[in-house]
Structure 1
C-alpha cells in the first residue's frame, strides 16, 4: 500500500523541523541522525527514505530557499534606474528569516551566501544588460559586491534588536545603491 503524499510530505517536514531545532543549537558535525529521528518521533529507516545524511537535510533546505528566490518576479519588481528588487528580497527574507538569519549568520553554512548570490546574479544581470549595462568583468564584480552588501545588510538588520524601520533601511539601501553601486552598473 502506497503512502499518501500529504503524510510523506508531513513526515519529511517533521524530520526537517527536528534537524533545524538541532542545527540552531549546534554545529552540523555534532548532529546525529539518531538525535533527529528521536526528536521527530521516527526511526532511522524513515529518515533514510528522505535523506542520505544530515548534510543532505541541510542541502535540501537550502535548495528550497534558493528556489523561492528564483520565483521572485525580478523584472516586474525592478525599475529602470533600480534593477535590484529590494522590497521583494526583504519580503522573502522576512518570510524565511527563521532560516536565513541562521544560514547567513556567523554559525550558518558558509557556502549558502554563495548559493544565494549564484541564483540571483543571472536574473539581475539579465535585467541590467537589457537596460544597457555592458556585460563583462566589471558587471560581474559589481554585482558580486552589490549582492554581498545586500545580503550582509539584511542579515545584520535581522540580527539587531533595535534596528531601523524597514522603510528607513530601504531608503538607506536605495541611497547607497543609486549614489554608488548603481552608477557603476548602469554607467
Structure 2
C-alpha cells in the first residue's frame, strides 16, 4: 500500500516541529527520540521512518535552510553598486529568523555558521568574478570576513530586544564599510 505523500510530508513536518520545540529549550544531546515522538503524537517507529536519530533531524533542517540560500539570485549577491549583499541576506534571514536565531545563537549548532558560509562563498565568488574581481587569497579572505561579519551582526541584531531599525543598521554597516572598522570605532571614543 502506497502512502499518501501529503500525509507523509505532514507527519515529517510534525516530527520536525516537535524536535524544534525541544531544541529551542534544551541542548541536542539532551533530546530523546521518545520525547520528539511523544510531543508529535507518534510512536518511535514512525520517527525512524523519516530520521535515523535526533542529529539527523537537525541536519535535515539545516540542509533545508542552506538550500534556501542557494535560491538567492546571483545578482543580489554581488552588485557593483553595493559593498555587500546585505539586503539579500537580510531578507533570507528575516524569512527564517525563527530557526536562524537559534541555530546561530549561543546554544545553537556551532557548525551551522560554517555551513552557511560554505554554501554562499561559491555563489558570491562566481558573481564577484563576473564583475571583474581578481581570484586569489584576498578574495577568499575578504568574503570570509564579510560573511562572518554579516552573519554575526544579523544574529546579534535579531537577538536584541531594542534593536535599531533595519535602515539604521544598514546605514551603520555602510559607514563601517566605507570608513573602515577602526576609524568607526575611534570616532566613538
Range class of TM-score, shorter chain? over 0.9
Instruction: Report deviation, 1:88.
Output: 1.7
1:76-129 CA distances to partner (integer Å, 9 max, x unpaired)? 464213263211211111110010000000100000000000011111111111
Structure with larger RCO (C-alpha < 8 A, sep 6+): 1
Instruction: Report deviation, 1:46.
Output: 0.6
Are the aligned partners of 2:77 and 2:127 in contact in 1 as well (CA < 8 Å)? no
- Report what 2:56 is aligned to: 56
- Report what 1:39 is aligned to: 39
Unaligned 5+ runs, structure 2? 182-189
**Structure 1 stretch displaced more, 142-151 or 73-82:** 73-82
Unaligned 5+ runs, structure 1? 182-187
- Report what 1:105 is aligned to: 105
Are the aligned partners of 1:84 and 1:124 in contact in 2 as well (CA < 8 Å)? no
When residues 76 and 113 of structure 1 are mapped into structure 2, their CA distance, relative to the original with a 3 A threshold, is closer
After TM superposition, list the pairs within 5 Å mapping 1:165-184 onto structure 2: 165-180=165-180
Instruction: Report deviation, 1:174.
Output: 2.5
Are the aligned partners of 2:15 and 2:36 in contact in 1 as well (CA < 8 Å)? yes
> 2:112 & 2:168 partners in 1: Cα distance?
27
- Report what 1:158 is aligned to: 158
Instruction: Report deviation, 1:179.
Output: 4.0
C-alpha RMSD of the superposition: 1.4
- How high is the TM-score relative to the length of structure 2? 0.91
Are the aligned partners of 2:84 and 2:146 in contact in 1 as well (CA < 8 Å)? no
- Report what 1:140 is aligned to: 140
- How high is the TM-score relative to the length of structure 1? 0.92
